[in-house]
Amino acid sequence: MPSVLITGGAGFIGQNLVHAWRAARPEDRVVVVDAMTYAANIRSLEPLINDGSIQFVNGDIGDPALIQRLFEEHAFTRVAHLAAESHVDRSISDPEAFLQTNVLGTFALLNAALAAWRTSGLLDSARFLHVSTDEVYGSLGPADPAFTESSPYRPTSPYAASKAASDHLVRAFIVTYGMPALITNCSNNYGAYQHPEKLIPLMIIHALEGKRLPIYGDGSNVRDWLHVSDHCAALIDVIERGRTGETYNIGGGNERNNRDVVGLICDTIDACFVASPALGQRFPSCPAASGASCRTLIGYVTDRPGHDHRYAIDASKLATDLGSRCSVGFEHGLAQTVHWYLDHETWWRDITSGEYKAWIEKNYGFRAAVY
């Protein structure tokens, strides 16, 4: 039976990938390893764990004895490596964990997988997919062409630098040891199960609660939004059909500046309240509950240090080589996402207590309103 290890499977993209993998390849054995940091949430996986269709292991990718034991037990033929510290703002205030997990953790995982596949003779048929980010390429000017797989690495945040270091390690293992690895660099994801520290869920939840919508700087920074379902479909295509040793960029083809993204979130929520007036009782502090627009909550705050201006992905290699294309348009995907957060209030309320409150105070407390 084919057997896959998904690292970081309790995170945002990881949970979506576990569900996508079960749907696309129901015969495969799926094992998730996740250290259950603040960013993890296992609730969506519980039905799969309880009915035995996946196995969940609470553990660190940087623990070689654990990873070796898992390889011995399950003879993985695929590794989808998503475990990481992933939030740029946290990497600015506390970079150490990023080096620990993203660099040293990736190194430990590569080492363990290489040793296991050498011993079992699977080096020719196994595949290791390293999931990385477009942030390794640095920042684009407004008229620059989109990042290709051969764009130079110019990371600017500690997060991006740690992911760049991990990409370099994976390439070194490919060239030096014949590691059967592939790398993907994708743009900003959005969709169900995203932690409310990231732009889109943060703005949705703040709007519902009638809190300020804190846009960094002047809001002209551009991201290329990729729906997580398109991303997961592409990851499965790459790990199954991509050429080992290669890198594939994955992008949504949806470049938007932050002002427009936040404005669209506001308009989408306003429309939901018009269509379902009962939402006003659930979220009485939301301006839309009294017929006003959520746009009244928008405020511009002190910028992120070293804030990359623009990311854009040229995903033509993925389309040409693998026929893999993203299909979710941004307006449609964003409306779906707003509905998902409206329908999963318990999920985000559990997260937005405790540690999260301390983070909001740390990251936003010092940011002055700019205008």
167: contact with ligand NAD by CB under 6 A: no
Cα-trace Rg, the chain: 20
Contact pick of 77, 101, 157, 229 for ligand NAD (by CB under 6 A): 101
Tell the smallest beta-carbon distance from residue 139 to ligand TYD (Å).
Answer: 10
Taking the CB of residue 277, how many other CB atoms lie within 10 A of it? 11
Choose from ligand NAD, ligand TYD, none: what does 35 bind? Cβ within 5-8 Å by kind: ligand NAD
Least distance to ligand NAD, CB of residue 77, Å: 20
Is residue 90 within 8 Å of 45, Cβ to Cβ? no
Contacts 24+ apart (CB under 8 A), 142-146: 142/222, 142/309, 142/310, 144/310, 144/312, 145/314, 146/224, 146/251, 146/312, 146/313, 146/314
End-to-end CA distance of the chain: give it in Å, rounded.
Answer: 59
Instruction: Say whether residue 138 binds ligand NAD (CB under 6 A).
Output: no
134 has catalytic annotation: yes
Residue 91 and residue 159 in contact, taking contact as beta carbons nearer than 8 Å: yes
Residue with tokens 């703002």: 89
Whether 177 sits among the annotated catalytic residues: the reply is no
Stretch that binds ligand NAD, among 28-36, 271-279, 333-341, 351-359 (CB under 6 A): 28-36
For binding to ligand TYD (CB under 6 A), which residues are involved? 88, 188, 198-199, 202, 214-216, 221, 223, 258, 304
Whole-number Å distance between alpha carbons of 165 and 59: 22
Q: Which position among 60, 135, 237, 270 bears the catalytic label? A: 135
The answer to whether 190 is a known catalytic residue is no
- 337 binding ligand NAD? (CB under 6 A): no
Considering only 65-73, 76-84, 233-241, 297-305, which stretch makes contact with ligand NAD by CB under 6 A? 76-84
Tell me which of 34, 60, 85, 134 is the catalytic residue: 134
User: Which does residue 242 touch among ligand NAD, ligand TYD, none (CB within 5 to 8 A, set by kind)?
Assistant: none
Residue-level length of the chain: 371
Q: Minimum CB separation from ligand TYD for residue 263, in Å?
A: 12
Give the count of alpha carbons within 13 A of 365, CB side only.
Answer: 6
Which does residue 195 bind out of ligand NAD, ligand TYD, none, counting CB within 5 to 8 angstroms by kind? ligand NAD
The item of ligand NAD, ligand TYD, none sharing an interface with residue 196, based on CB under 5 to 8 Å by kind, is none
Residue listed under structure tokens 């969940």: 56
Q: Tokens for 136, please give them.
A: 């390794």
Name the H helices within 25-145.
46-50, 64-74, 88-93, 96-98, 106-120
Q: Note whether 325 and 319 are within 8 A (CB).
A: yes
Nearer to ligand NAD, 225 or 300 (CB): 225
Among 151, 157, 188, 247, binds ligand NAD (CB under 6 A): 188
Site for ligand NAD in 43-72 (CB under 6 A): 60-62
Which option in ligand NAD, ligand TYD, none does residue 216 bind, with CB closer than 5 to 8 A by kind? ligand TYD
Q: Helix 199-208 to helix 258-275 angle, to the nearest 10 degrees? A: 40
Per CB under 6 A, residues contacting ligand NAD are 7-8, 10-14, 33-37, 39-40, 60-62, 82-86, 101, 105, 131, 133, 163, 186, 188-189, 195
Active site residues: 134-135, 159
